[in-house]
């Protein structure tokens, strides 16, 4: 193995997110408890769970938007309480369209992703402007940098949001339902973007209920239920678990299985376990979502 290959292998062993019996919640009340989770550099992880499962609370906790009530949480080797460099975490919210109330170009929207890393009054440097152009190129929008975002399709606007998150050069990308609410062709384009990011070694944590759109991209699947992790394994292990549950159901078995996601191969969710509103769309009062 060459030195460069050893460096890449070593980087992949680095824990970029580590939770040890972590609890998050609101107003002192925990909604996720005892969560143990390690995500390493370069991993692409899908986070599943029905509404109320705690996945929103977990993601909000990593972003510093819910209270850390117990256990240990490290982000990029730094305890959560001491982690203040938000530019190292890129966040792509679930949003079907960008606001049309203010006219902005694609370039301007992408550039806002860098504001967390510099004073608002300082003009962008040549390196930062180049980073905006690289981000647009990565998502396939280099030819639309001067376009008004209001003229773009929903799928293109979703790619603008991904580019905005990439503009600061984050080490981890957290994405909320990136393929939801767009047509099949746009899902394919978005999947190609995520495949490209995975090929570049970008660490991604993707909240989703459309696993079919991410086939071949995700390394690992985590399913949550009742504020705890109910399943953590590879896509192959997840498919095997679903097959086992299906056999049990056919044999007359009963009981609730939080990772019983019938849309794993079809992208549909007839059981209603992981569909519905995106986990970060609702107000904070929707606790436990």
Element containing residue 175 per DSSP (H, E): strand 172-176
Residue among 102, 98, 108, 89 at smallest CA distance from 181: 98
Count how many domains the chain has. Answer: 1
Distance linking the first and last C-alpha atoms of the chain = 45
Percent of the chain clearing pLDDT 90 (strictly above) = 61
Residue 21 lies in a domain: yes
In the prediction, which pLDDT does 117 show? 76
45 within 8 A of 198, measured Cβ to Cβ: no
8 within some domain: yes
Instruction: Flag whether 227 is in a domain.
Output: yes
Domain containing residue 70: 3-93+172-250
Domain of 60, CATH number, reads 3.40.50.300
Whole-angstrom Cα distance, residue 175 to residue 206? 5
Assigned domain for 159 exists: no
User: Tokens in use for 93?
Assistant: 């919210």
Query: 243-282: per-residue pLDDT in tens?
Result: 888 777 766 655 444 444 434 333 333 222 233 323 322 2
Residue 144 lies in a domain: no
CA atoms within 13 A on the CB side of 150: 6
d(CA 205, CA 173): 6
Structural domain includes residue 139: no
């Amino acid at each position: 193995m060459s030195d460069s290959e050893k460096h890449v292998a070593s980087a992949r062993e680095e824990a970029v997110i580590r939770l040890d019996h972590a609890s998050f919640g609101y107003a002192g009340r925990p909604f996720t408890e005892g969560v143990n989770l390690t995500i390493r550099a370069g991993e692409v992880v899908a986070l599943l769970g029905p509404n109320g499962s705690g996945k929103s609370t977990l993601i909000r906790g990593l972003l510093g938007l819910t209270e850390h009530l117990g256990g240990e949480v490290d982000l990029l080797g730094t305890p959560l309480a001491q982690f203040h460099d938000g530019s190292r975490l890129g966040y792509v919210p679930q949003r079907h369209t960008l606001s049309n109330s203010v006219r902005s170009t694609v370039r301007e929207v992408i550039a806002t992703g860098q504001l967390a890393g510099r004073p608002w009054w300082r003009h962008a440097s040549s390196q930062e402007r180049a980073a905006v152009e690289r981000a647009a190129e990565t998502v396939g929008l280099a030819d639309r940098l001067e376009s008004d975002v209001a003229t773009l399709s929903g799928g293109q606007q979703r790619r603008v949001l991904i580019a905005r998150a990439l503009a600061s050069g984050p080490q981890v990308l957290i994405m909320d339902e990136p393929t939801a609410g767009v047509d099949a062709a746009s899902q394919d384009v978005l999947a190609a973007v995520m495949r490209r990011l995975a090929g570049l070694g970008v660490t991604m944590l993707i909240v989703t209920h459309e696993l079919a759109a991410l086939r071949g991209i995700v390394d690992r699947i985590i399913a949550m239920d009742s504020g705890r992790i109910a399943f953590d394994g590879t896509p192959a292990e997840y498919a095997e678990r679903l097959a086992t549950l299906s056999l049990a159901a056919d044999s007359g078995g009963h009981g609730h299985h939080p990772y019983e996601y019938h849309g794993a191969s079809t992208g549909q969710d007839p059981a209603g376990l992981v569909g519905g509103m995106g986990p970060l769309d609702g107000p904070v009062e929707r606790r436990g979502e």
